[in-house]
């Protein structure tokens, strides 16, 4: 194997001047945890990038794993040699030959080590002519080359790279706190969680479960979704809230058109309590404006009023097609489309109010004594923790 390193570029991270150290440390941690099954790797970071010494490991699965880590802007395979012209010539020639489909190339030298005796421009020519003399059917194309060889001359050695592989971008998970994701079994909320992770946010999840109206299979779906989401960031704790008794009470005591609004408010109220207990400062939902009755401006206003916590809605302006596309990319689609009902669909009235009046909501809700129910619920929450997934597995295909 020719290549002995993988280079990881940070992108947006390197813009975060003050917090850069913290971000880089977090990314290093995330890469190390993701690659824990490869103890032979050596991971080092500097101000502008990270290098992984392969120590003979096959780079392919490692690149695949790193591509899904938020904060990784792009990756390249690299060869490291001494700052010695002959060694660089040899390695550049090998790298060019490795790019089998390429017919045109360009050399770009960056000379961070000013002790290296040849300037960047001149070195481009030195290496370029070496490649032209030692190959037959390649030509130089500085505008649209098939392959661009980067020669990066640093104090500690020279790295030669060719192709750039796109990473997930965003910020490393854990660099921006934690949010409590309201995770239903639907398509939207897992995508919302995934997008929040891309802003550096860790997830914890809450699911409202109403047995026997909702089945074990519906709960399992949510657990599988949470398990799946760990692949992109962190271990995820899922709090399963027993919601049946309170839902029945709402169903009995709240006028039909308002039951959905009150039920949603209860969900937020309980979620806020869980968040407070877990030191989490925000809630996240998969709501998208106008999608269903609870997601009109009036409903959001009436529902949101119950909490002071920031309620994050990363999908608010997205249409369903775009959401579905992401769910397919992150492999949650097949889990989300398993046909089990969740608690909202079971209890939701045929014609919930799309424009609930806040004063009426509060009036009806005030007639119902829920504090005791909420205390009981808080005592009966089941919490399951899913560890971070190192490898993409195929459980979704089993169903």
Q: How far apart are CA 126 and CA 373, in angstroms?
A: 78
Helix (H, G, I), strand (E, B) or coil at 331: coil
Question: Closest distance between ligand ATP and the C-beta of residue 163, in Å?
Answer: 37
Q: Which stretch binds Mg ion (CB under 5 A): 48-56, 113-121, 180-188, 265-273?
A: 180-188
Segment 343 to 382, residues that bind ligand ATP, using CB under 6 A: 343-344
Contact pick of 51, 179, 184, 332 for Mg ion (by CB under 5 A): 184
Q: Does 188 bind ligand ATP (CB under 6 A)?
A: yes
Piece of 41-49, 119-127, 134-142, 179-187 that binds ligand ATP (CB under 6 A): 179-187
Residue from 124, 184, 247, 259 binding ligand ATP (CB under 6 A): 184
Biggest distance spanned by C-alpha atoms of the chain:
88
**49-53/139-140 β-pairing:** unpaired
Residue bearing tokens 């640093």: 154
Residues that bind ligand ATP (rule: CB under 6 A) add up to a total of: 19
Binding flag, residue 52, ligand ATP (CB under 6 A): no
Residue 104 vs residues 131, 138, 183, 280: alpha-carbon distances, Å: 11, 5, 50, 53
| Residue 180 Ramachandran class (φ > 0 left, ψ -120 to 50 alpha, else beta) | beta
Query: Residue 150 or 239: which CB sits closer to ligand ATP?
Result: 239
Rounded alpha-carbon distances, angstroms, from residue 193 to 59, 287, 321, 327: 29, 11, 17, 11
Size of the site for Mg ion (CB under 5 A): 2
Stretch of 108-116, 178-186, 219-227, 249-257 contacting Mg ion, by CB under 5 A: 178-186
Q: Which is nearer to ligand ATP, 81 or 206 (CB)?
A: 206
- What does the alpha-carbon distance between residue 171 and residue 26 come to, in Å, rounded to a whole number? 9
183 is in an annotated binding site: yes
96-125: contacts with ligand ATP (CB under 6 A): none
Phi, psi of 332 (to 5 degrees): -100, -15
Q: Is 286 known to sit in a ligand binding site?
A: yes
List 208, 232, 309, 333, residue binding ligand ATP (CB under 6 A) = 208
* 295 annotated as a binding-site residue: yes
Whole-Å CA distances, 326 to 181, 195, 295: 17, 9, 21
Choose, by CB under 5 A, the member of 170, 172, 186, 193 that binds Mg ion: 186
Cα–Cα distance for residue pair 346/250, rounded to 1 Å = 13
Q: Choose between 93 and 344: whose C-beta lies nearer to ligand ATP.
A: 344
Q: List the single partner that 73 binds among ligand ATP, Mg ion, none, CB under 5 to 8 Å by kind.
A: none
Q: What tokens appear for 63 in the block?
A: 């690149």
Q: How far is CA 112 from CA 92, 138, 164, 353, in A?
A: 18, 28, 20, 65
Figure out which of the listed residues 266, 342, 377, 386 binds ligand ATP, where binding follows CB under 6 A: 342
Nearer to ligand ATP, 188 or 272 (CB): 188
Phi, then psi, of 208 in degrees rounded to 5: -95, 120
Please, what is the minimum distance in Å from the beta carbon of residue 185 to Mg ion?
7
Task: Considering only residues 283 through 312, tell me which ones interact with ligand ATP, judged by CB under 6 A.
Answer: 285-287, 291-292, 294
E-only strand ranges, the chain: 5-9, 42-45, 49-53, 74-81, 104-111, 139-140, 147-154, 157-161, 165-166, 178-182, 202-209, 236-242, 283-284, 311-312, 382-386
Rounded Cα gap, residues 159 and 189, in angstroms = 42
> Around Cβ 166, how many Cβ atoms within 10 Å?
10
For residue 294, the partner it binds in ligand ATP, Mg ion, none, with Cβ less than 5 to 8 A by kind, is: ligand ATP
Q: Is 5 annotated as a binding residue?
A: no
Close Cβ partners of 137 (under 8 Å, ≥ 6 residues apart):
103
The answer to whether 251 is a known ligand-binding residue is: no
Q: Is 313 annotated as a binding residue?
A: no
Decide: is 203 part of the binding site for ligand ATP (CB under 6 A): no
Report the nearest approach of ligand ATP to the CB of residue 395 (Å). Answer: 20
Q: Which does 285 bind (CB under 5 to 8 A by kind): Mg ion, ligand ATP, none?
A: ligand ATP
Binding site for ATP: residue ranges?
182-183, 207-208, 264, 286, 295
Q: Contact positions toward Mg ion, by CB under 5 A?
A: 184, 186
Q: Contact positions toward ligand ATP, by CB under 6 A?
A: 182-184, 186-189, 206-208, 285-287, 291-292, 294, 342-344
């Amino acid at each position: 194997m020719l290549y002995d390193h993988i280079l990881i570029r940070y992108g947006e991270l390197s813009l975060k001047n003050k917090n850069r150290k913290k971000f880089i440390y977090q990314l290093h941690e995330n890469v190390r945890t993701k690659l824990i099954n490869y103890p032979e790797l050596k991971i080092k970071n500097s101000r502008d990038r990270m290098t992984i010494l392969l120590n003979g490991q096959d780079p392919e699965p490692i690149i695949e794993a790193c591509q899904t880590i938020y904060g990784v802007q792009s990756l390249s395979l690299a060869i490291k040699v001494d700052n010695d012209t002959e060694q660089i010539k040899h390695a550049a020639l090998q790298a060019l030959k490795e790019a089998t489909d390429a017919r045109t190339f360009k050399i770009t030298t960056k000379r961070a080590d000013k002790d290296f005796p040849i300037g960047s421009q001149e070195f481009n020519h030195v290496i370029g002519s070496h490649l032209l003399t030692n190959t037959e059917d390649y030509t130089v194309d500085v505008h649209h080359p098939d392959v661009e060889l980067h020669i990066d001359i640093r104090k500690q050695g020279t790295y030669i790279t060719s192709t750039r592989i796109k990473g997930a971008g965003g910020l490393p998970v854990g660099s921006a706190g934690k949010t409590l994701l309201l995770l239903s079994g639907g398509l939207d909320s897992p995508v919302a969680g995934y997008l929040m992770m891309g802003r550096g946010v860790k997830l914890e999840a809450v699911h409202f479960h109403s047995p026997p109206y909702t089945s074990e299979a519906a709960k399992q779906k949510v657990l599988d979704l949470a398990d799946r989401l760990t692949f992109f960031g962190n271990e995820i704790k899922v709090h399963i809230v027993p919601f049946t008794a309170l839902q029945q009470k709402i169903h009995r005591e709240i006028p039909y058109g308002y039951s959905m609004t009150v039920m949603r408010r209860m969900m937020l109220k309980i979620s806020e309590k869980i968040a407070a207990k877990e030191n989490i400062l925000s809630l996240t939902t998969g709501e998208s404006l106008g999608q269903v009755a609870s997601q009109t401006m009036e409903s959001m206003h009436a529902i949101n009023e119950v909490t002071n916590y920031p309620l994050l809605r990363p999908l608010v302006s997205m249409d369903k097609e775009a959401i579905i596309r992401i769910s397919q990319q992150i492999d949650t689609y097949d889990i989300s489309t398993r046909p089990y009902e969740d608690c909202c669909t079971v209890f939701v009235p045929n014609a919930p109010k799309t424009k609930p009046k806040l004063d009426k909501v509060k009036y009806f809700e005030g007639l119902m004594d829920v504090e005791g129910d909420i205390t009981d619920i808080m005592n009966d929450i089941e919490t399951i923790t899913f560890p971070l997934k190192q490898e993409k597995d195929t459980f979704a295909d089993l169903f």
